[in-house]
Structure 1
Amino acid sequence: MAVSDESIMDAARHIAASQGWAGLRFRTIAAQAQVSVRPLRDRYESSSQLAAQLWRGQLCDSLIAQVSEAVKCADQVVLNNHNDSLAALVEQFFQPSETLKASMELLIVARFDPVIALAVSEKFPHELERLLFGPESAPDRSLVAKRCLIVLLLFGLVTERWRSWASEIASHEISKLLEQSLRREVNDEVLPNDQATFLDEPQDFHTSDPMWEALLGTLVQSVARVGYEATTTDQLAKESGCSEGFIFRKYPTKRDLFVDAAHRGAAHYTKLQLEFANDMAQRYSEAVGGAVLLREWLLPKHEDKRTISLELSRVALHDEKLAKLMTDEQMPVLEENLQIPNSAGNANLLALAHVGFSAGSGAFLLSDLLPQFVSLPLTVVEF
């Protein structure tokens, strides 16, 4: 019986959504499609080429259609003062379909896989620009910024759904916060020149062992460069100056090494970000403080930090241990700074925290797809 491309792509989409990039391999896809591996090897040179075809054939146009709906929804709220479809739209991304999950997975993987990156670049960024900026030669910057806001938040809701507190939030709480932001006047003034210097400092993993520090630092750099799956312990040993024996004395598996590095960094950056944003808010305003922090994160020199942040979220989506550790590290910081009494506390504050993380993740994705986003009034990202 002939094996159809559609059945292969359907299986690949399911694997990408449920297992992520790590599972998107010929044998796994063949098993899901209930076929032999041979037809896949005959048609595709690599998993990357198969994933690129999945993007072109099933994911790209679907995501463009959903972005189009998001832009229409933003325009309705901003221009026509009604939000008939906003809650339903947020629910679609808060409880994403298999297609949406697979789309966000490949958008992140495209950061370090050139074959998938080429497929993404062929059409999606151009359509994104067309939808967000519209046909006008001089579009309203405030309106474009608000269109970007709804898209980046929706993207982020998909990538940040691994956070355990997400299950305690109702989607209508998020749509309420989003509507408030869409209706708010946008401050388009030049932002102050304050710098988030903590982003320039080498991360301290607090091991008190120089070789251990070097190993964890090398891991982070490698994951930002080639992704988690392509990072090997052999490569880490060579680049950090230790032995593989040293690595495996510390960690039973590469996964344990990654989990440790991730949870050591999670609380560190969360605390520093909140301190910086709070300081900016006291000196200027919450909107300006958040915008300055976002501007600093979006600087070209911090691309590796953005990539590692997105990669952590991508891997956490398919790794409960990593997700729990990162949530456990961040929750005390949020409780202290947002005055959330406990993980089952005030739903509004939990929603606010989740929207903040989602907006950041979505902004990282959007800024790479649409570099013009950085020049828009970033104060729009205020909740």
Structure 2
Amino acid sequence: MTSVEVVERRRPPSSLVRNDARIMGAVVAVLADAGWAGVTVASVARAAGLSPRPVQDRFPDRWAMAVGAWQQQVGPALEGALLELLESAGLEDDRLPRDRPAGPVLQLRAALESALDAAGLRHLIVGQLPEDLDDPLLEMNLALESALDAAGRADLMSLRAAGPSADWLANALGAFLRPGAELRAAAELLVVSAFNDDLAETVGSEVAHRVAAWCHPTGEHPEAAVSRAYLISIALGLLLSRTRQGAADLDLRDEARHLLDAFKNQSKPAVLPATRAEHLDDFLGFDTGDASLDALLRGTMEEVGRVGYEGATTAAIGRASGRSEGLVFARYPSKVELFVDATRRQHARNWRANEVFHQGIAAVHGPGIAEAVVIREFQRPDLRGYRAISLEQVRMALHDERLREVQWGELELLVAQALAEDPNWAAAGTPAHLHFSVAIGLGVTVLPILAPEAWLLPYDVVTVPLDEG
């Protein structure tokens, strides 16, 4: 029985249904706070206030818990945040389905809304209540949390009422830069879905079909699809780069204005250079001068790309390297030290190779065209393995200080060198502008998980006006 079948089998009533809701809430909390590595039957049981037995009876492994969490909480939360994002920029498409199935506790919902209406607060929670939960107590709790959250951000409703604007867009992007538990959990599950077919199938069927429709390259209005794809990529990149120093304090309004201007003033699609990013074809090419070490580093990344960091054992790394497990511990005190070193060496090579590739195209065709080509290359279907490894490195850096230093240290060094060569280097700009550049670089590698055909979009219709603006 697959993880999807385990989750989708008929649920028993009463206390077991309530346990399901508690377990799913606990899975989300553990994912948000400890990451995928923290999700075990024992940790989820503790967070849910249950013994391990009912958790394991209902969800026999962590992948089944991940599938359930995505279906019940994480996927709907991500979809809702993305829809808010598109609406804030005037990019929603009324022709695409937006309805969600009603939940089984409509009477409770009506009573709650009536009480809030009588208190003059109902307007604050319109559109905020979840509609597909099975536990009335959990639904009431989440509804009250939504009401309190909305009351603390009462201006959001006025932003919505006023229509698309830089302020509303900045607010919607801020939900990804300063995410709640469900979006933090979404970041974890999006990345690790590369390592489990059941979770990948669930992500694809629950959210990706809608994102793929928003960003489809052969639709009636491909220019709008480009804007959606670019904006969603920025949001997903903000979600993954949220631990970069100073990121949480950024004011996003100026960047939101630039985006809206570019979306309104798109250029005509150009025939993009067919230049191939050949350095991505051999992104695991280590050259330390030590053949055994090169093989070990490459084998580490290949195994991580196959099963994820947590699934990669030192024995499997040894086999993937064509060496023994003993070589791992002869060279490194632990698996994490090996992974940190492999990541450091790979970043030092790839950050610079990416910049050289971009500069070479920009020198001939301009920065806007160069960025469009880079996006196309990073989203190529044949680079799924590259994206899986890169995103796993980013995900791990959310939770490990050493990897975070590697992840962002190389970037900061590259920025410093570029500014030393050209003090007016446009990519640096303001701190928010630089961070948006970082976010789009990460986000375009996430988008193919949700919209595999987005690599065919004419991104230059947005990147050129952004560069010229």
TM-score clears 0.5:
yes
Gaps (5+ residues) in structure 2? Answer: 1-14, 93-162
Q: What is the CA-CA distance between 1:204 and the residue it aligns to?
A: 4.1
1:110 equivalent in alignment to 2:193: yes
**What is residue 128 of structure 1 aligned with on the other side?**
211
**What is residue 37 of structure 2 aligned with on the other side?**
22
Q: What is the CA-CA distance between 1:374 and the residue it aligns to?
A: 1.6
**What is residue 75 of structure 1 aligned with on the other side?**
90
**What is residue 402 of structure 2 aligned with on the other side?**
321
**What is residue 233 of structure 1 aligned with on the other side?**
314
Cα pair 1:128 1:370 within 8 Å, conserved: yes
Name the aligned partner's letter for residue 207 of structure 2.
F
C-alpha distance in 2, partners of 1:273/1:208? 23
Count of residue pairs brought into register by the alignment: 376
Distance 1:208 1:29, change over 3 A: same
Query: RMSD over aligned Cα, in angstroms?
Result: 2.6
Distance 1:15 1:81, change over 3 A: closer
Q: What is the CA-CA distance between 1:201 and the residue it aligns to?
A: 3.2
C-alpha distance in 1, partners of 2:438/2:390? 11
Cα pair 2:381 2:452 within 8 Å, conserved: no
C-alpha distance in 2, partners of 1:202/1:115? 28
Q: What is the CA-CA distance between 1:176 and the residue it aligns to?
A: 4.2
C-alpha distance in 2, partners of 1:93/1:152? 11
C-alpha distance in 1, partners of 2:259/2:455? 20
Deviates most, 358-367 or 109-118:
358-367
Distance 1:138 1:9, change over 3 A: closer
TM-score (norm 2): 0.74
1:34 equivalent in alignment to 2:117: no
**What is residue 6 of structure 1 aligned with on the other side?**
21
**What is residue 357 of structure 1 aligned with on the other side?**
438
Deviates most, 218-227 or 174-183:
174-183
1:157 equivalent in alignment to 2:238: yes
Distance 1:73 1:186, change over 3 A: farther
Aligned residue for 2:267, secondary structure, equals coil
C-alpha distance in 1, partners of 2:279/2:377? 10
Q: What is the CA-CA distance between 1:38 and the residue it aligns to?
A: 0.6
C-alpha distance in 2, partners of 1:341/1:95? 32
Deviates most, 158-167 or 25-34:
158-167
Q: What is the CA-CA distance between 1:297 and the residue it aligns to?
A: 1.8
**Structure with more contact order per residue of length (Cα contacts < 8 Å, sep ≥ 6):** 1
Cα pair 1:15 1:29 within 8 Å, conserved: yes
C-alpha distance in 2, partners of 1:272/1:72? 37
Distance 1:338 1:225, change over 3 A: farther
Between Structure 1 and Structure 2, whose CA radius of gyration is higher?
A: 2
Identity %: 30
Distance 1:374 1:76, change over 3 A: closer
**What is residue 143 of structure 2 aligned with on the other side?**
none
Cα pair 2:166 2:257 within 8 Å, conserved: no
**What is residue 277 of structure 1 aligned with on the other side?**
358
The runs of at least 4 consecutive aligned structure 1 residues that moved more than 6 Å come to none
C-alpha distance in 2, partners of 1:82/1:350? 21
Gaps (5+ residues) in structure 1? Answer: none
TM-score (norm 1): 0.90
